[in-house]
Amino acid sequence: MNFRFESLTDSPIETQQEKKIPPGGSMKKKSESLLKQLLESVSPSGYEGPAADIFREEARGFADEVIRDRHGNTMAKVEGSDGDLRVMFAGHCDEIGFLVTHIDAKGFLWIAPIGGWDPQIAQGQRVQVRGRNGVIPGVIGKKPIHLMTPEDRRNVVQLKDLWVDIGAASKKEAEKVVDVGDPLVLGYGYQKLAGHTIAARGMDNRIGSFVVLEAARKVAKAKQQAAATLYSVATVQEEIGLRGATTSAYGVDAQVGIAVDVTFATDHPSQGDAKRQFNDCELGKGPVLTRGPNAHPRLFDRIVKTAKAHNIPLQISAEGRGTGTDGNAMQLSRAGMATAILSIPNRYMHSPSEMVDLRDVEHCIDLMAHVVLELEADADLTPF
Does the N-terminal peptide bond of residue 205 adopt cis geometry, omega within 30 degrees of 0? yes
Residue 31 CA, chain-centre distance (Å), reads 17
Residue 47 C-beta-side C-alpha neighbours within 13 Å: 22
Interior/surface letters 57-81, b for 16+ CB within 10 angstroms, e for the rest: ebbeebbeebbebebbbbbbbbebe
Residue 154 C-beta: closest distance to Zn ion, Å: 28
Contact 349, 262 (CB under 8 A): yes
Of 94 and 366, CB closest to Zn ion: 94
Which listed residue (58, 94, 182, 204) binds Zn ion by CB under 5 A? 204
Stretch that binds Zn ion, among 36-44, 199-207, 223-231, 376-384 (CB under 5 A): 199-207
- Per CB under 5 A, contacts with Zn ion among 96-155 are none
**Edge-to-edge strand ranges of the sheet holding 191-192:** 191-192, 197-200, 354-357
Of 2 and 339, CB closest to Zn ion: 2
Q: Mapping DSSP to helix (H, G, I), strand (E, B) and coil, where does residue 126 land?
A: strand
DSSP lists the bridge partners of residue 14 as 314
Of 114 and 372, CB closest to Zn ion: 114
Residue 203 C-beta: closest distance to Zn ion, Å: 9
- The active-site residue out of 238, 319, 354, 362 is 238
Stretch that binds Zn ion, among 61-69, 198-206, 285-293, 304-312 (CB under 5 A): 198-206
Amino acid at 242: L
Which listed residue (1, 186, 198, 220) binds Zn ion by CB under 5 A? 1
Examine residue 254 and tell whether it contacts Zn ion (CB under 5 A): no
Residue 94 C-beta: closest distance to Zn ion, Å: 9
Contacts (Cβ under 8 Å, ≥6 apart) of 325: 1, 2, 9, 238, 242, 259, 261, 294, 341, 343
Residue 268 C-beta: closest distance to Zn ion, Å: 18
Of 26 and 277, CB closest to Zn ion: 277
Of 108 and 264, CB closest to Zn ion: 264
Annotated catalytic residue 238: yes
Contact 168, 129 (CB under 8 A): no
Stretch that binds Zn ion, among 146-154, 201-209, 250-258, 303-311 (CB under 5 A): 201-209
DSSP lists the bridge partners of residue 321 as none
Of 228 and 344, CB closest to Zn ion: 344
Count of positions on this chain that bind Zn ion (CB under 5 A): 2
Residue 361 C-beta: closest distance to Zn ion, Å: 17
For the chain, how are helix, strand and coil distributed in percent, rounded to 5?
A: 30, 25, 45
Residue 91 C-beta: closest distance to Zn ion, Å: 12
- Name the residues annotated as catalytic: 238
The footprint of Zn ion (CB under 5 A) covers: 1, 204
